[in-house]
């Protein structure tokens, strides 16, 4: 897994940059709903949403990174975020392609070929919820999307109510860094304008990174020491053959021996397949954050699902 991990980091960062750079741009209105029979998804979050609102059987292709739910792994692939194959998409004869707003060039190419497209911006928590609603609207599955959103909101409300009386915890959220080194090199962290920051606030934390308008902040070891977080949460996408490297990741963080989080043993690694997917399971990451920030609260078994 070591040799592939830099590629995963690159893709995560590139997707975030693409989304966040377009947050000020107006989101295109959904097309009039139609009975689409051949849908292609160009992001894991979109794939999850389509399955969650009952449209998994309409998917004819997905990206290389779409592996949830398990049924998605059996679908044809059309490439990744940076190497999406226009030819592979057209060959599947889709009547709708749903993509991220950062893929505007591809969208224009598809529109020139008379392929229906719809784009979403899920770079923030509100954006995630709006994306689910718009996918439901454009596909005629508004009721299913509304039900999904109601469930997500219920989960968010439960966490917020549980932590609201707790003092905020100064936290650093790491979203990408290299693990094929003994040294903790440049770390990419949650900024002030992404869904990780939104979740952190809801979970009762405060982001120690206070820079403004930086899309995907990178922080050096010296910068990490200066910020001195009380808790560090390192988010990794799940990978079956990568577990052996988690000890190495923890050893990297232990080098910051003067940082409060290291001294108090509050460096946590979240290795979940939903950790970098801003989609329907986003509340699971919120619960993970809240449990790690406030372990003194009574988290029952249901909170660990």
Give 293's Cβ-side CA count (13 Å radius): 31
Q: At what angle do helices 142-163 and 282-293 cross, to 10 degrees?
A: 0
Position of tokens 């590139």? 14
Q: Is residue 100 part of a domain?
A: yes
Q: Is residue 82 part of a domain?
A: yes
Same domain, 155 and 171: no
Structural domain for 263, as ranges: 165-304
Judged by DSSP in three states, 130 sits in helix
Q: Is residue 5 part of a domain?
A: no
Give the global pTM.
0.88
Judged by DSSP in three states, 281 sits in coil
Same domain, 140 and 267: no
Same domain, 95 and 109: yes
| Domain-ending residue, one of 106, 127, 159 | 159
User: Pick from 232, 268, 231, 253: which is nearest to 182 by CA?
Assistant: 253
| Domain-ending residue, one of 99, 128, 159 | 159
Q: Is residue 16 part of a domain?
A: no
pLDDT for residue 177: 87
pLDDT for residue 28: 44
pLDDT for residue 136: 97
Same domain, 112 and 48: yes
pLDDT for residue 17: 52
pLDDT per residue rounded down to tens, the chain (305 residues): 333 444 455 455 555 555 554 444 444 444 555 689 999 999 999 999 999 999 999 999 999 999 999 999 999 999 998 899 999 999 999 999 999 998 989 999 999 999 999 999 999 999 999 999 999 999 999 999 999 999 999 999 999 999 999 999 999 999 988 877 778 888 999 999 899 999 999 999 999 999 877 778 999 999 999 999 999 999 987 654 545 578 889 999 999 999 999 999 999 999 999 999 999 999 999 999 999 999 999 887 555 54
- The CATH number covering residue 233 comes to 3.40.50.1980
| Domain-ending residue, one of 159, 182, 214 | 159
Same domain, 189 and 117: no
Q: Is residue 8 part of a domain?
A: no
Q: Is residue 15 part of a domain?
A: no
- Structurally, the chain folds into a number of domains equal to 2
Q: Is residue 115 part of a domain?
A: yes
Same domain, 282 and 192: yes
């Amino acid at each position: 897994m070591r040799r592939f991990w830099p590629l995963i980091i690159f893709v995560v960062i590139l997707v975030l940059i693409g989304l966040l750079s377009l947050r000020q741009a107006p989101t295109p209105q959904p097309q009039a709903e139609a009975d689409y029979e051949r849908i292609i998804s160009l992001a894991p979050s979109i794939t999850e949403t389509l399955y969650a609102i009952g449209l998994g059987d309409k998917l004819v292709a997905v990206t290389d990174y779409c592996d949830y739910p398990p049924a998605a792994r059996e679908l044809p692939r059309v490439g990744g975020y940076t190497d999406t194959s226009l030819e592979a998409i057209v060959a599947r004869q889709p009547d709708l392609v749903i993509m991220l707003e950062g893929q505007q060039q591809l969208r224009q190419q598809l529109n020139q070929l008379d392929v229906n497209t719809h784009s979403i911006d899920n770079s923030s928590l509100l954006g995630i919820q709006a994306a689910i609603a718009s996918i439901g609207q454009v596909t005629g599955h508004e009721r299913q999307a509304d039900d999904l959103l109601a469930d997500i909101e219920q989960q968010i409300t439960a966490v917020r109510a549980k932590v609201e009386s707790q003092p905020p915890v100064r936290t650093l959220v790491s979203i990408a860094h290299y693990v094929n080194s003994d040294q903790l090199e440049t770390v990419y962290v949650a900024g002030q304008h992404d869904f990780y920051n939104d979740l952190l606030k809801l979970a009762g934390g405060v982001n120690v990174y206070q820079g403004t308008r930086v899309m995907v902040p990178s922080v050096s070891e010296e910068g990490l020491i200066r910020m001195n977080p009380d808790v560090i949460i390192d988010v990794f996408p799940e990978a079956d053959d990568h577990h052996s490297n988690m000890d190495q990741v923890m050893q990297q963080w232990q080098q910051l021996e003067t940082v409060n989080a290291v001294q108090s043993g509050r460096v946590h690694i979240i290795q979940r397949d939903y950790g970098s997917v801003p989609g329907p399971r986003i509340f699971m990451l919120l619960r993970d954050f809240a449990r790690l920030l406030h372990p003194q609260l009574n988290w029952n078994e249901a909170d660990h699902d």
